[in-house]
Structure 1
Amino acid sequence: MTNALFLLDPDHDDVPVNSDELNAGWKITLPAAVRRHAVQAMRLRRGDGLQLSDGRGLRIEAVMDDPDAGLVEVHAFTREPAPVTRLSLVQALAKTGHDEQAIDVATQIGVDEVVPWQADRSIAKWKAGRTDRKWGSVLDAATEQSRRAWRPELAPCVTSRQIVSMCLRANVHGDLVIVLHQDATDTWSSIEGLAGELSERCLADGRPRTIHVVVGPEGGISEDEVKEFVDSGAHSVRLGTNILRASAAGPVALSLLSRALGRYA
């Protein structure tokens, strides 16, 4: 069984997680919050294995040395490369926690970036300093749950006009923007072909590119928004005949893309 993973703050002065400073046998004193989670919630004892990560690719294999002091001993460490073909979820704000459910599952699937979107039909409102902390906590928990060494980036909340700009930039940089829309005429099969071509270009030149998946709120994306996005270079597609909730559409699309990109063996 894979050992539990705990995120360390890469900017915390008391916990240096630069791989250049690590050696087998090195001791790390866990921050208080991580110690409580590991010892009190997870019940880890002396000699139990665990993983630590900075959320930026560093994975540390360690063993609990002194639970009371929160002291662990490093056994090994690796630095995992970031994906060259990145997956981004542009998730519209949705009520009753459907947006948080979406980013939770998306993180477990392997999304690389989460972009909150204040859509025209979003009932929920983004509150700086509050909603961003809440979404960040969801990403942290899902990263630990899925044992990921890379935590998804949480981008600033965007407007529909900013998504138009994203579509225009994608045309220049070779990225791909996919808008999930129930009335679209294009089907998913065409998207997998485009994703495969983008991935091949990334492998050929080594330059990172991003596939953005845009998901609307409960009431769906307005016709004006869809038209603006498509006119700016986005691809409007439907996943199938069933209409999915705002919490499910993004994760389903990301799962299909992950398989098409070879992330799932």
Structure 2
Amino acid sequence: MAHFYLIDELVSTVVGELLSLRGSEGRHAATVSRVRVGESLLVGNGRGLIVSTTALTVEKDVVTLEVTNVDGIALPTTQITLVQALAKNDRDERAVEACTELGIDAILPWAAERSISKWEGPKVAKGRSRWGAIVREATKQSIRAYIPEVLAYEKASVFVKTLAGTQLIVLDPTGDVSLGEMSLPVSARHDESTSGVALSDGAPFASFALIVGPEGGITPSELALLRANGATIATLGKNILRTSTAGPAALAILSSRLRRL
């Protein structure tokens, strides 16, 4: 199994340089993963840098590494944000974890009108921090070059402004079109020079947002607000998916259509 660790303060490095895993990352490598001298590890900074290393020394909570290869990974040409309504029984957290592993670029916690779970007062910071921890661990699990940003907790009336300029896609059974068939504001041509999907004039479309409601669904007033702000209401087929499943399923479909996989 590949070992992948994050060193947040890592900015750049070169082959032959020595790095150290310390603190929780070092303890995990030494005592949980039981890394041994001579083993290969991958290290990243969550901002596009992936470094191949070899373990030189292993102590209780410090692992010394020698850099053997350095890769700089570019961001995808198109960015996708998950707008996930809070949900009970950790279903929202499951969606956050799975979407991180599948390549989401940012996650916005949504204070939907029908959400049973609510973040209020100190719970706002605590909840956002919790989602950030889930995102970080899922990034390590999937060996991703970038850690998705967890944005501020917002109502629909606020996030439509936060996401101004983004193509909004609302996942709802009342939608008029399937996500797999809806018209996207991009051409079918794959631009090999940028490894992204381009508009007919060659310019990349910047961003999409997948909006997932809570267990009780999205209210008519929220749907009206989202429609008024240019959102497309789309379905994921005949089956009704849980809030924990809809986001990951939609992300897989959209990523395939945008050729991000």
TM-score of the aligned structures, taking structure 2 as reference length = 0.90
| 8 Å Cα contact 1:192/1:257 also seen in 2 | no
Q: How does 1:126-145 map to 2 (within 5 A)?
A: 126=119, 127-145=123-141
Q: Deviations over 1:66-106 (max 9, x none)?
A: 11142111111111111110111000011110000001000
**Aligned residue in 2 for 1:158:** 154
Letter of the 1:82 partner, please give it.
L
| 8 Å Cα contact 2:76/2:260 also seen in 1 | no
| 8 Å Cα contact 1:84/1:203 also seen in 2 | no
Q: Deviations over 1:170-217 (max 9, x none)?
A: 2xxxx31100111122222443544556931399235x6111000001
**Aligned residue in 1 for 2:94:** 101
Q: How does 1:87-236 map to 2 (within 5 A)?
A: 87-126=80-119, 127-166=123-162, 169-170=164-165, 175-191=166-182, 193-194=184-185, 196=187, 199-201=197-199, 204-205=202-203, 209-236=206-233
**Aligned residue in 2 for 1:65:** 56
Q: How many pairs does the alignment contain?
A: 249
Structure 2 spans left out of the alignment, 5+ residues: 189-195
TM-aligned CA distance change 1:156 to 1:225, over 3 Å: same
**Aligned residue in 2 for 1:35:** 26
| 8 Å Cα contact 1:99/1:247 also seen in 2 | yes
Question: RMSD in angstroms over aligned alpha carbons?
Answer: 1.9
1:263 CA displacement: 2.2
Query: 1 CA distance for matches of 2:186 and 2:93?
Result: 26
TM-aligned CA distance change 1:211 to 1:196, over 3 Å: farther
Query: 1 CA distance for matches of 2:228 and 2:129?
Result: 34
TM-aligned CA distance change 1:138 to 1:202, over 3 Å: farther
Letter of the 1:244 partner, please give it.
L
Query: 1 CA distance for matches of 2:67 and 2:247?
Result: 37
**Aligned residue in 2 for 1:4:** 3
**Aligned residue in 2 for 1:13:** none
| 8 Å Cα contact 2:186/2:200 also seen in 1 | no
The sequence identity of aligned pairs, in percent, is 33
Query: 1 CA distance for matches of 2:159 and 2:21?
Result: 40
**Aligned residue in 2 for 1:246:** 243
Query: 1 CA distance for matches of 2:110 and 2:92?
Result: 10
Structure 1 spans left out of the alignment, 5+ residues: 11-16
TM-score of the aligned structures, taking structure 1 as reference length = 0.88
